[in-house]
Chain A
Amino acid sequence: MSTAERSRSIWRAALALAATAAVYEAVARSGVFPPALLPTLPAVARALVSTIADGTMLAHAFHTLARVLLGFAMAIVVALPLGIMMARFRPVENFVLPLASALMPIPSLAWVPMFILWFGLGDITSILVVFYAATFPLLLNTWSGVRAVNPLWLRAAGAMGADEQALFWKVIIPGASPFIITGLRQAFLRSWIAVVGAEMLAASNWGLGWVIFDAKEFLNADVMLASLVVIGAIGFVFERLVFGSLEQVTVLRWGMVRAAKG
């Protein structure tokens, strides 16, 4: 793409965004819809700034992040070793795989009513829903990643005198890492959906999902849109910065990119 074409693309993109914002603003100001339902953009910006300034938005974001990271960490602790064991030991695979295939098609949010009854409203329910959502993509990707390690590498390392431990840390883990990182990414995307849904259903006073749902009761559409912005921003940061840089320091550095694409 030439420079002229690229700058034309950027101009068009900026124009498209500006035009969309202008149309939205015009509709919001025209009074066709009540302002409580369709707040103007300055109102949304004000709600965003004021909730950030008084710390409430940060506290909500902190609660949501804490839940998602706890559930995610639990999923890593369970699913990574289990996935590796499934790939290395056939009895484990025979036992876990049918169960995982039966549980996987059940959306994590379907467990919310049951978890509410078992664990009450609040943190534990949301964390467990996140755990459920994150476990399966991680488990299956780890499993296929370890299975996909080139047997030639294993034999070569063995021939060069690598013991079991070295084989595991130096060959299997780096070899499976493109799949594992894909699994982590998918798992995080699903956890992020799950935590917002779980917070709406299992309300507990704190959390971004809860804010949105609570704002609906009071017709605070500006607060809802402001929280949507925050939710989108955090999701974007995790996807691009956290997993992007994780990929940089592992897969790209080990020269595994081609495997990651294949």
Chain B
Amino acid sequence: MHDAITAPAQAVDFPTVAREPAWRVVARTAFPFLVVGALWELVAHLGIFPPRLFPSLEQIASAFVRLTAEGILPHHALDTVIRLLTGFALAAVAGVAIGIAMGRSRLAEDVLVPLVSIGAPIPGIAYAPLFLLWFGLGNLSAVLLVAFVSAFPIIFNTWTGVKAVKEIWVRSAQAMGADDRRLFRRVILPGALPYILTGLRLGLAQAWRILVGVEMLAAVPWGLGWLIFGAREFLNTDVILAGVAVIGIIGLALEKLVFQRIEEFTVVRWGMMT
């Protein structure tokens, strides 16, 4: 009860749980990492596995610092992110356009649905060798594959979203004299937006999962996937694990910073979702 009095605002959010002080939340979150880290260190220092294959955390951290200071790790990370965003931007433009066309026009729907449904169940990475054969090793293949893979969830969700716009909204806008353009910009687009955003989010997640693998296959000159795959040849496990950590950080940042923000800005603001 004492806690509830000192912080009434938070007590509303968690009615069943007594409010915890901030340091306890931090400690509770850090605790599992400390346990796993300590176990890792123990195994690494006991020498159960060869140290080349099982580096200690200091080695991983020093590889991380060294590569960051030399600018190698940022360069790899930057190239990966640029590739991701280029491919994703292509997919977003094409996917939303195709999805809207499918949602608005009966003809487009009839023609495109079978084509899209045939491509969708094949996992994106399976196309990778085909793209490499057609577009060569390197950037072009990687970007096109990322675009291709992330387009499917975007198309499906945009299509569903446009079809889910309430008929009555469309009719009342028309009754109030909205022309086609205004109908589209003021009613259909905002109405379908929650679905479109879900599609974009799924597409980006899909693109991210595929991209690292594609970079390993496509032999791109720079990129995190290539970094960790190349480091394998020289048994640089410390570099691999430092690279995996960066991949995890970027993945987390994409989810937390990009999409939660967009959702807050648009959908919640327009009152489409709470």
Return B248 CB to nearest CB of chain A, in Å. 4
In contact, B110 and A12 (Cβ under 8 angstroms): yes
Q: Considering the chains assembled together, what is the distance between the CA atoms of A189 and B202 in angstroms?
A: 13
Contacts of B88 in A (CB 8 A): none
Contacts of B243 in A (CB 8 A): 110
**Is there a chain B Cβ closer than 8 Å to A20's Cβ?**
yes
**Is there a chain A Cβ closer than 8 Å to B134's Cβ?**
yes
In contact, B114 and A193 (Cβ under 8 angstroms): no
Known A-B contacts: A106-B248, A109-B213. Give 14 more (CB < 8 A): A9-B109, A12-B110, A13-B111, A16-B114, A16-B115, A37-B133, A102-B33, A110-B224, A114-B228, A114-B237, A117-B240, A197-B213, A201-B213, A215-B129
| Given A107-B208, A221-B130, A20-B29 contact (CB < 8 Å) | no
Within 8 A of A (CB), among B80-128: 106-107, 109-115, 118, 121-128
Contact partner, B122, options A15, A113, A235, Cβ 8 Å: A235
In contact, B111 and A16 (Cβ under 8 angstroms): yes
In contact, A98 and B216 (Cβ under 8 angstroms): no
Contacts of B232 in A (CB 8 A): 113-114, 116-117
Q: Mark A199-234, 1 if CB is under 8 A from B, else 0.
A: 011000000110011011001010011011001100
In contact, B210 and A193 (Cβ under 8 angstroms): yes
Q: Considering the chains assembled together, what is the distance between the CA atoms of A64 and B224 in angstroms?
A: 27
Residue in A closest to B245 when the chains form the complex, CB atoms = A106
Q: Mark B201-215, 1 if CB is under 8 A from A, else 0.
A: 000000011111100
Residue in B closest to A235 when the chains form the complex, CB atoms = B121
Return B19 CB to nearest CB of chain A, in Å. 15
Contacts of B124 in A (CB 8 A): 193
Q: Mark A50-76, 1 if CB is under 8 A from B, else 0.
A: 000000000000000000000000000
In contact, B125 and A193 (Cβ under 8 angstroms): yes
Within 8 A of A (CB), among B232-274: 232, 235, 237, 240-241, 243-244, 247-248, 250-252, 254-255
Chain B residues engaging chain A, CB cutoff 8 angstroms: 28-33, 35-36, 53, 106-107, 109-115, 118, 121-130, 132-134, 208-213, 216-217, 224-225, 228-229, 231-232, 235, 237, 240-241, 243-244, 247-248, 250-252, 254-255
Return B132 CB to nearest CB of chain A, in Å. 6
| Given A196-B125, A235-B121, A9-B32 contact (CB < 8 Å) | no
Return B20 CB to nearest CB of chain A, in Å. 11
Q: Which of B53, B240, B243 has the most CB of A within 10 A?
A: B240
Q: Considering the chains assembled together, what is the distance between the CA atoms of A108 and B205 in angstroms?
A: 12
Contact partner, A239, options B121, B130, B132, B231, Cβ 8 Å: B121
Q: Is the interface of A mostly helix, strand, loop or mixed?
A: helix
Q: Considering the chains assembled together, what is the distance between the CA atoms of A114 and B32 in angstroms?
A: 22
Q: Considering the chains assembled together, what is the distance between the CA atoms of A196 and B214 in angstroms?
A: 12
Residue in A closest to B107 when the chains form the complex, CB atoms = A12
In contact, A225 and B130 (Cβ under 8 angstroms): yes
Q: Considering the chains assembled together, what is the distance between the CA atoms of A204 and B150 in angstroms?
A: 29
In contact, A231 and B126 (Cβ under 8 angstroms): yes
In contact, B134 and A107 (Cβ under 8 angstroms): no
In contact, A103 and B248 (Cβ under 8 angstroms): yes
Return B274 CB to nearest CB of chain A, in Å. 15
In contact, B244 and A200 (Cβ under 8 angstroms): no
Return A20 CB to nearest CB of chain B, in Å. 6
Residue in B closest to A13 when the chains form the complex, CB atoms = B114
In contact, A109 and B212 (Cβ under 8 angstroms): yes
